[in-house]
Chain A
C-alpha cells in the first residue's frame, strides 16, 4: 500500500461543476502540498498546509490531521483546470516528501 493515496485517479467533469480530489496518507506529517501539472507542462505549487483550510481564487484545500486526509476543491470548474493534481506529504520523522501518483482531471466545456 502506498503511503500517499489519491482518489479518484481519473475524473471527468462538466464545466461549472464543483470538484473534489482526495488525498489520504498513512505517515505522520508536518505539511501537505497540492501541486498542479498541465499536460506536457511543468509543475506548480497550489497550496502548502499543515492544518485547517486555505483558499486561493476558486481553489480550496483542507486538511484533517487526525484523520490523515486532505481534500482539494475546485468551484465553478473550467476547461483550463484540466490537469494532473498531485498530493505530496512532508514526512514528519524523515523530512522527506512523499508523492501520490496524481489525479487526472478533465473538465469538458
Chain B
C-alpha cells in the first residue's frame, strides 16, 4: 500500500442493504475524513476522525456511521442504503498538527449506486 486506498472502487446495491466502504492509509496520519461528492454541491464532509479512537460528525452524517479502531483504517458504513446515498465517496487523510496541519491526501474514490 502506498498512500491511501479505498475499496470497492464501484458498487451497485439494492436499497435497504448494508454496505461498508473501506479506507486504509499507511502514512500514519492522525486525521481521516469521509466526503461525498455530488454534482453541483462539491465535497461534503460526512464524518471525520482526528485520532484513533475518536470520531465526529460532519455536515451530512445521517445514514452513515464510522469507526476508527486504529490509525490506519477508517471504514464508512451505510446501515440501510437509500437511493439518495448514490454518490462518489472519497476518503482523505492528513497530519493534524499545529495551526494548519499538513497536506491532504485522497483515495481514488468509491462510486456507489443505490437502486
**Interface residues in chain A, defined as those with a beta carbon under 8 Å from any beta carbon in chain B:** 30-31, 33, 35, 41-45, 48, 50, 86, 88, 90, 92, 95-97, 99-102
Contact = CB atoms under 8 A, between A and B. Distances in A.
Interface of B: 33, 40-45, 58, 90, 92, 96, 99-109
A73 B96 CA distance: 28
A92 B103 CA distance: 16
Q: Is the interface of A mostly helix, strand, loop or mixed?
A: strand
Contact of A31 (B41, B45, B58, B101): B101
A8 to B, nearest CB: 15
Given A45-B103, A90-B101, A97 B42 contact: no
A99 B42 contact: yes
Given A42-B90, A43-B90, 6 more contacts: A30-B100, A41-B109, A43-B92, A45-B104, A48-B100, A100-B42
